[in-house]
Amino acid sequence: MSNEAVLHEESRLVHFPVSFFSTVMGLTGLAIAWQKAHHVFGLPALVWHVAALAASAVFVALFVIYGVKVLRHPQAVGGEWKHPIRVNFFPTISISLLLLSIVWREAVPSVAHVLWGTGAAIHLCFTLAILSSWIHHTHYDIKHANPAWYIPVVGNLIVPISGVHFAPTELSWFFLSIGLVFWIVLQTIVVYRVIFHDPIPPKLMPTLFILLAPPSVGFIAYGALVPEFDAFARVLYYTALFLVLLLGSNVLRFLKSGFFLSAWAYSFPLAAMTMATFAMAHRSGIGFFNGLGMVLLGILSLVVLVLVAKTLAAIRRGAICVPE
């Protein structure tokens, strides 16, 4: 390989974004949604198997690549950590581990247990570190606020979904409490920023779909801890359902924003809502939600296929891992 080619590859490594791990979240979310549909409707297990294996392989590949970046270009990693927006994507690493623990829990519980324990511990560390940076900041401004800020805090809601099987119940309540309380805090900040300040830049427009994740995942996690289908569970689900309607009514705006790596923000929230809808059907006994879940599963599958195709095309064009 020529020196010029080596320098080009090193440049791409320097600009390899930690947000790439959001692709694992989307792929794993698709796998879990199809796994649920397999159990409920008998849909082919092959789909979730392929999606789960693809998500696992992508995670390993990204982990290796980013690990090399950490070793060769620690200053670039430090720059991402100090960035007011990119820092919030570091927890996508731990969330990916937590989601992989969910999808593999039935097939290989021992591996899933390790994935869950590792993911939960790392995610708690990320939450503490990032919230500390918010408290003692010197460079944050209201214009930096966007739904990606939910990732480090609301990711805690994913912990109880497998946690109820692997650890004492109180530990799951601990993580659920963090996610729910700080979701309300961040919801207030983000809505204020969206309404009263400059519009979110087109590159970050897809992150508005992250608004859908907290009530959807919260509904699933709460259901894992509280067997009764109570009023609070309904509030969580119907909040998520309203957000589906709100975001869906603005679909043309999202389509016009173009493709960026941030577009993967469409995938996991949609997957979470799909899973929440299947859970709603089971808990409420209302057949309408099974039909709605299947519609959402179809939309989710199409979205992920488009995202995969556009991401691969962008990689071939050299449009990813470049200076902004």
Q: Is the pLDDT of residue 193 over 80?
A: yes
- For 161-183, what is the mean pLDDT? 96
From the list 92, 105, 194, 183, the residue with the least C-alpha distance to 143 is: 194
Interval 201-237: pLDDT, tens = 888 889 999 999 999 999 999 999 998 999 999 999 9
Q: What pLDDT, on a 0 to 100 scale, did the predictor assign at position 320?
A: 82
Q: What pLDDT, on a 0 to 100 scale, did the predictor assign at position 112?
A: 97
CATH number of residue 250's parent domain: 1.50.10.150
- Give a yes or no: residue 299 inside a domain: yes
Q: Is the pLDDT of residue 6 over 60?
A: no
- For 129-156, what is the mean pLDDT? 87
Q: What pLDDT, on a 0 to 100 scale, did the predictor assign at position 220?
A: 97
- Give a yes or no: residue 231 inside a domain: yes
Which of 4-18, 144-158, 255-269 is the least confident region? 4-18
Q: How many domains does the chain have?
A: 1
Interval 21-66: pLDDT, tens = 999 999 999 999 999 999 999 999 999 999 999 999 999 999 999 9
- Give a yes or no: residue 323 inside a domain: no
Under 8 Å between Cβ of 33 and 303? no
pTM for the model stands at: 0.94
Q: Is the pLDDT of residue 5 over 60?
A: no
- Give a yes or no: residue 298 inside a domain: yes
Task: Report the distance separating Cα 32 and Cα 24, nearest Å.
Answer: 12
Task: Report the distance separating Cα 106 and Cα 113, nearest Å.
Answer: 11
Which of 111-125, 137-151, 218-232 is the least confident region? 137-151
How distant is the alpha carbon of residue 169 from its chain centre? 24
Bigger pLDDT: 140 vs 289: 289
How distant is the alpha carbon of residue 126 from its chain centre? 15
- Give a yes or no: residue 83 inside a domain: yes
Boundaries of domain holding 130: 3-317
Q: Is the pLDDT of residue 143 over 90?
A: no
Q: What pLDDT, on a 0 to 100 scale, did the predictor assign at position 3?
A: 57
- Give a yes or no: residue 123 inside a domain: yes
- Give a yes or no: residue 217 inside a domain: yes
Interval 80-89: pLDDT, tens = 999 988 999 9
Q: Is the pLDDT of residue 312 over 90?
A: yes
Confidence of residue 261 (pLDDT cuts 50, 70, 90): confident
From the list 244, 253, 256, the residue with the least C-alpha distance to 293 is: 244
- Give a yes or no: residue 143 inside a domain: yes
Q: How many residues does the chain have?
A: 324
Residue partners of 263: CB distance under 8 A and separation at least 6: 206, 307, 310
Task: Report the distance separating Cα 104 and Cα 154, nearest Å.
Answer: 22
- Backbone φ and ψ for 139, nearest 5 degrees, come out as -135, 5
Confidence of residue 159 (pLDDT cuts 50, 70, 90): very high
From the list 196, 303, 294, 199, the residue with the least C-alpha distance to 259 is: 303
Which of 6-20, 185-199, 271-285, 297-311 is the least confident region? 6-20
